[in-house]
Structure 1
Amino acid sequence: MAVILNCLIEIMKKPAFGEIFSELAIFFAPLWIALAVGLFVGWAWRPSWAVQMLGFQNSYSSANEEKNMVGSSVNVSRRGTSMEDKEVTVSRSMTNQKELAVVESDLDHLCRLVEERDGGPTWHKMMDKSLPTWSYKAWRRDPETGPPQYRSSTVFEDAAPEIVRDFFWDDEFRTKNGWDDMLLQHEILDECAATGTMVVKWVRKFPFFCSDREYIIGRRIWNIGQTYYCITKGVPNNVPRRNKPRRVDLYYSSWCIRPVESQRDGQMTACEVLLFHHEDMGIPWEIAKLGVRQGMWSCVRRIEPGLRAYQLVRSSPDSGPISHHAEMAHINTKFNAEEVALREEETNEDGTNLECYEEPQKPQHWIGNVPKVLAIGGAVALACTVDHGLVTKAVIFGVARQFARIGKRL
């Protein structure tokens, strides 16, 4: 440290400002280059030994070591399918016979999210847009551990909850219509004809600087009247992993679809979709948040035209039979609010933590501070070599603070 300080003093004694600037640039260049290389290598390649040394562990990293919770596939006949929903009541004997990918505790968690009593951080509004036929609001919150969480409320005028439910479940229409242009491939891996539970594989397209992502998702729908609780989440599985597309294990995206009053005449002819979403895509969360902020509206505004096209297809007499995905969306598990409240009371009496989706905070090794040191040091080098203006330095140090937070989570 004394040697570095002496070098800095010698540099500052130079008579000309240009000489000071050039000397500082040379002096800090290695540190700045080390920062860039370190961040690049750290994001692109995270070996298991480094993860263990830093004390980080993804709660889903051992997913393929766990027992597969989904039983053998059950074929569902597509012939003579009724357009009416099939409401089922799942008994304990049925659940004992086959472990389901989505269970009652997932329903309880979604109900708490909808009622805003899950005990999480406060939601902060991100967007509020309104058009003649639909409106959209979005919020975000940052838990102490885990990726950013998003909540949105979309209200569609002149839309029945049953059609909206089928629309979001219908992967065939997603790719055929193109309203969800990120979905490249979809495949049903397993399904339960009794409960409508499905396990599907998705491959989604990411920007050019990221590889595509693969998801193994469990799905199931509960309903109470015309209100539908549609749960999709990443599930443990035995599907072999590949380098590309990269597997996303931590994934949660669930909806509550319900009728609401129309803004036009006050009649119950509109439909609200409450979405709760978070996932760990394998990129720094601060960068992911920036991408969501920039690309949210361009993605969201494609949903409404897709829904209207789906309504036309389903109302046309020449449309033919509905897709198999829509058939499965009609198999719902009926429940009542008293059952959910009773289970929650039993859980509280047992002293079990209701929030089971957050990763526990783990003690970190001192090496975990290395990314922070590199980020701050790189910011110092950049501030001294690029520009000596106060505004530029403030921006650079602000970015350094963001990268320092990212370093804690890598």
Structure 2
Amino acid sequence: MALVDAFLEILSRPAIGEVMVGIFVFMGPVWVAFLLGLVVGWAWKPRWACSLVAKFQSFAPALLSPSMDLASDLMQVQTRSVDSSVMEVGSKKEQLIKLKYKEDSTLRSPHTEEDDGLAVTEADFEHLSQLVDRRDGGLPWRHMMDRSTNDMSYQAWIREPEIGPPQYCSRTVYENATPEMLRDFFWDDEFRLKWDDMILHAETLEECPTTGTMTVHWIRKFPFFCSDREYIIGRRIWESGRSYYCVTKGVPNSSVARRQKPRRVDLYYSSWLIKAVESRKGDGQLTACEVILFHHEDMGIPWEIAKFGVKQGMWGAVRKIERGFRAYQKERASEQPLTRCAFMAQINTKIDPCHLKSLETDENLEATEVVKSPEKQAGMNLPKLIVFGGAVALACSLDRGLLTKAVIFSAARRFGNIGKGAFPRT
């Protein structure tokens, strides 16, 4: 009761500044204890807690949402020993949505001899073109972020379809850049290993010297509470004048055996348009470069948690990419020989201008709306944050498979929602 009284005393202070300072001081020891418990629990995995959860499982279905019907299905999933990381928990409903999305996300392309056997086809280009023109018929894009530096500006949007993970769109404008340099930079895996500390391994599996299509193998480093992730990516570039449509997506490939760790990310889409634009200097010169990116992937992490992580780390990642690009400009200026990946980036499929025009004016395509996000509402989210943090600590401490973690997160979600109306949002 003393802690509750102290917390209520802080909230009763007249000035909002005093309230915020008091809350931070009050929460400091709690978070120190949480982080310490997280580290100790991760290394220790106490047996008494495991036995407690084993008893808890007997009435676990009562805590799960009835619409999910997880109990029997997750028990079957657990026997297959999927990744035991806490961040790889998802509801049964979400798992079914992922499965259906994978089935529906395969693009059917018109057959051409050039596309025979290629990982990326003409249909992928057409899909990217529709995304760029905001005519893919998808849900509206909600504004998410707007940041800038002296040499770069950045905007981001998000939408959350009923089927599949959250989708992101961004527009980045680099000053003093050319489309060709950016094209090569994004393709150059050898140089990426120098600036992107999340990439542990990058290898080319296949390449087509005629179209420039490549299949590459990546392993990316994830936080300590997740296993690393593995990607098999098909990629290809289409050229229209000095505009480059770059498609990269997850593709099947039998040359790399699927393993338990690192975990394979099958659903991956990251494609962009690069083109020259006028500099912010307003001198009429096309000395800046615009990159419009569309990205989504299923990392095996609950989508709400992944969305939170993306939002928190987005600007830092964008700044890191910009620093990597400036370093790449300097290296290319020193006349270093092209890497194999950069050389392959220069083998592009030329686009028939009439075909591109027909895609832009296709009356059968529905326009996609762009809307502003509602203003952030102020509110007391600390109780929910504490509950969620406790759930992470407990789940990290227990290595008992998917059912245990699903139960913990379902219970935490319910407890976190209990006090929704306790602090009205204004």
TM-score by length of 2: 0.64
Secondary structure, aligned partner of 2:419? helix
Give the deviation of 1:209 after TM superposition. Answer: 1.1
Counterpart check, 1:133 vs 2:174: no
Give the equivalent residue in structure 2 for 1:153.
171
Give the deviation of 1:344 after TM superposition. Answer: 8.8
Give the deviation of 1:378 after TM superposition. Answer: 5.7
Give the equivalent residue in structure 2 for 1:84.
none
Per-residue CA shift, 1:205-246, capped at 9, x if unaligned? 111111100000001000100000000000122132100000
Q: Distance in 2 between matches of 1:191 and 1:253?
A: 19
For residue 208 of structure 2, the aligned residue among 192, 212, 227 is: 192
Q: Distance in 2 between matches of 1:290 and 1:43?
A: 28
For residue 270 of structure 2, the aligned residue among 253, 274, 281 is: 253
Q: Distance in 1 between matches of 2:79 and 2:418?
A: 35
Secondary structure, aligned partner of 2:192? helix
Per-residue CA shift, 1:52-80, capped at 9, x if unaligned? 9x8556258789xx9xx9xxxxxxxxxxx
Summarize the alignment of residues 87-106 of structure 1 with structure 2, pairs less than 5 Å apart: 92-95=112-115, 98-106=116-124
For residue 232 of structure 2, the aligned residue among 198, 207, 216 is: 216
Per-residue CA shift, 1:124-164, capped at 9, x if unaligned? 11110111111111111001110000001110001010000
Structure 1 residue runs of 4 or more that deviate by more than 3 Å after TM superposition: 29-39, 41-52, 54-57, 59-63, 91-95, 340-348, 352-355, 371-380, 395-398
For residue 329 of structure 1, the aligned residue among 335, 345, 348 is: 345
Give the equivalent residue in structure 1 for 2:419.
393
Rg larger in 1 or in 2?
1
Give the equivalent residue in structure 1 for 2:382.
none
Give the deviation of 1:182 after TM superposition. Answer: 1.0
Number of aligned residues: 312
Summarize the alignment of residues 201-280 of structure 1 with structure 2, pairs less than 5 Å apart: 201-238=217-254, 239-264=256-281, 265-280=283-298
The answer to whether the 8 A contact 1:43-1:283 is kept is: no
The answer to whether the 8 A contact 1:35-1:378 is kept is: no
Give the deviation of 1:111 after TM superposition. Answer: 0.4
Give the deviation of 1:267 after TM superposition. Answer: 1.3
Q: Distance in 1 between matches of 2:76 and 2:305?
A: 14
Q: Distance in 1 between matches of 2:348 and 2:114?
A: 15
The answer to whether the 8 A contact 1:138-1:152 is kept is: yes
Give the deviation of 1:251 after TM superposition. Answer: 0.3
The answer to whether the 8 A contact 1:189-1:201 is kept is: yes
Give the equivalent residue in structure 1 for 2:300.
282
Q: Which moved more, 1:281-290 or 1:332-341?
A: 332-341
Q: Distance in 2 between matches of 1:140 and 1:118?
A: 15
The one-letter code sitting in structure 1 at the alignment partner of 2:154 is Y
Q: Which moved more, 1:260-269 or 1:107-116?
A: 260-269
Q: Distance in 1 between matches of 2:219 and 2:145?
A: 28
Summarize the alignment of residues 368-379 of structure 1 with structure 2, pairs less than 5 Å apart: none
For residue 161 of structure 2, the aligned residue among 114, 130, 143 is: 143
The one-letter code sitting in structure 1 at the alignment partner of 2:135 is R
Aligned CA distance change for structure 1 residues 378 and 111 (closer, same or farther; 3 Å): closer
Secondary structure, aligned partner of 1:328? helix
The one-letter code sitting in structure 1 at the alignment partner of 2:203 is E
The answer to whether the 8 A contact 2:193-2:199 is kept is: yes
Give the equivalent residue in structure 2 for 1:77.
none
Give the deviation of 1:43 after TM superposition. Answer: 12
RMSD between superposed Cα atoms in Å: 4.2
The answer to whether the 8 A contact 2:276-2:288 is kept is: yes
The one-letter code sitting in structure 2 at the alignment partner of 1:394 is K
Q: Distance in 2 between matches of 1:127 and 1:174?
A: 25
Q: Distance in 1 between matches of 2:315 and 2:211?
A: 35
Summarize the alignment of residues 338-353 of structure 1 with structure 2, pairs less than 5 Å apart: 338-340=354-356, 342=358
Counterpart check, 1:310 vs 2:310: no
The answer to whether the 8 A contact 1:32-1:377 is kept is: no
The answer to whether the 8 A contact 1:248-1:282 is kept is: yes
Per-residue CA shift, 1:350-400, capped at 9, x if unaligned? xx9999xxxxxxxxxxxxxxx9999776666x47xxxxxxx97228999xx
Where does the alignment leave 5 or more consecutive residues of structure 1 unmatched? Answer: 1-28, 70-90, 356-370, 384-390, 399-410
The answer to whether the 8 A contact 1:157-1:269 is kept is: yes
Q: Distance in 2 between matches of 1:198 and 1:128?
A: 33
Give the deviation of 1:99 after TM superposition. Answer: 1.3
The one-letter code sitting in structure 2 at the alignment partner of 1:171 is D
Give the % identical residues: 53
TM-score by length of 1: 0.66
Secondary structure, aligned partner of 1:185? strand
